[in-house]
Amino acid sequence: MGIIYKLEVGNYYYIGKTINSFRKRYNQHKKSCFNKCNKTYHSKVYKKFRELKVKKNNWDEMVKYKIIYKCDNVDLPKYEKWCINIKNINSLNTNSC
């Protein structure tokens, strides 16, 4: 079962997907945001989170999450793209269709 989720800090948000447990993916985001050796460290979402004063020690208080949708793994990319395409100006996603 796949999961589409939303991470929010203030008025900014990121839409993502995972086929793993959400908790595992959430923790991966936390590690990637602060690991300068990670290839996604300079991504739009992590730069903005750090700019908004998200730190390792306050991540769980500042980064709110919501499970948006659960679906079969086969349908996951389609629903993620749909969620990203209905985004507004505060979206931190870099890919849209």
Q: pLDDT tens, 73-82?
A: 888 888 888 8
Pairing mode of beta strands 2-9, 64-71: antiparallel
- The residues with which 71 forms a beta bridge, in sequence order, are 2
Mean pLDDT, residues 10-15:
92
Residue 96 has pLDDT above 60, yes or no: no
d(CA 76, CA 19): 8
Q: What is the pTM of this model?
A: 0.84
Joined together, the tokens standing for residue 51 give: 């700019």
Report the pLDDT value the prediction gives residue 95, as an integer from 0 to 100.
60
**Cα 97 to Cα 84: distance, rounded to the nearest angstrom:** 8
pLDDT (0 to 100) of residue 97:
42
Q: How confident is the model at residue 89 (pLDDT cuts 50, 70, 90)?
A: low
Tokens in use for 85? 């395409």
Are 56 and 34 within 8 A, CB to CB?
Answer: yes
Determine the pLDDT at residue 88: 65
